[in-house]
Amino acid sequence: MPPEQLRVLITNDDGYLAPGIRALAPVIAGLGYEVLVVAPLNDESGVGSARAGMLDRPIRSESDQENGVTYTGIDGTPALAVTLATVGAFGRTPDLVLSGINRGANIGVPIFHSGTVAAALTAAGQNTSAVAVSIDSEDPDHWVTAATVAGEALGWIAPEPVGTVLTINVPDRPLNQLAGVRHATLAPINRSRVIGTTAPTGDPMIELEPARPNPLPGTDEALLNAGFVTVTPILGIREIQDDTAATTLDKHLTR
C-alpha cells in the first residue's frame, strides 16, 4: 500500500514538545504518509505501558503546529496516546504506529520499562504494527539520521502481518557514517550493586550502581557501540500453550 494511503500515529515518551518527535514527524510526512502526532504533554520516560487511572477521567490536551504538522499533547502516557488513537479518538484510526525518536538508547532486556517501546507494544495489542526508534545520545546532533532510518523501517513494516513490532537503535552520527544495519539480540540485564549512602539530612539511603561488563557480541548494546543501527523484532505478552502449571496447582488445591 502506498504511503499516501497509510495513516501513521507518531508518539513518544519525551513529550510532544521534545526535539525528537519534532524532527521525526516532518520527515515521515515528507514521505507521503498521513501523519497524526499524539504524545504526552510532559516527559513520561520509563513509564512502560502504564495507563492506570487514566481511562476513567477527562483527558486534557493541547496542540500547536510546526512545519505543517499538528502536534497534540495529552495528559497521559504514550501507551494512553496509542490507546486513544486506536479507538478513534483522533479520527481515522492509524494503520501504523511510530514511537520516537527517543533521546537515549533503549537496549537490552530492560526495554520493557521504556515508554517508547511500550507504546509500540501497546499498538501490537491493538492489532497495529509499530516501530520504536531511539538514538544513542542524551544530546543528539543527528536527529535526521534516526528519522531517515525510521522512515525506511515504516516502509518495511507496512506489508508485514499486523502486530509486528521492531525496536531500533540508531548511532548519533551522519547517515553516511553508519557502519550498517544489523539484527540484534537484546543484551541481558546488567546486575546492579547496592551502595549504602547518606542523605544531606543524615538519613541512610540506598543507591544502585549499575554493573558495566563488556557487552556480549551480537547484542544491541555491542552492535550499537560499534556504530551499527540495531533492529530487534519483539513480542508483547503472549500465552504459552501449556496447561502443566494449572493442572499441578489444581491437584494441590483439590486434595
Question: Residue 232 maps to which CATH number?
Answer: 3.40.1210.10
Q: What are phi and psi of 27, to 5 degrees?
A: -65, -45
- Cell numbers of 113, please? 520499562
- Within 10 Å of residue 234's Cβ, how many Cβ atoms? 17
State which amino acid sits at residue 109.
V
pLDDT for 240: 72
- Cβ atoms of 175 and 141 within 8 Å: the answer is no
Handedness of CA 39, 158, 109, 149 (dihedral sign): negative
199 in a structural domain? no
Residue 197 lies in a domain: no
Per-residue pLDDT of the chain (255 residues; tens, 9 = 90+): 778 889 999 999 999 999 999 999 999 999 999 999 999 998 777 666 655 445 566 778 898 999 999 999 999 899 999 999 999 999 999 999 999 999 999 999 888 889 999 999 999 999 999 999 999 999 999 999 999 999 999 999 999 999 999 999 999 999 999 999 999 999 987 655 566 666 677 777 776 666 666 889 999 999 999 999 999 999 877 777 888 888 878 787 886
pLDDT, residue 199, reads 64
Whether 222 is in a domain gets the answer yes
Whether residue 154 is contained in a domain is answered as yes
Q: Is the pTM of this model over 0.85?
A: yes
Query: Into how many domains does the chain fold?
Result: 1
**Cβ atoms 171, 228 nearer than 8 A:** yes
pLDDT confidence of residue 230: 97
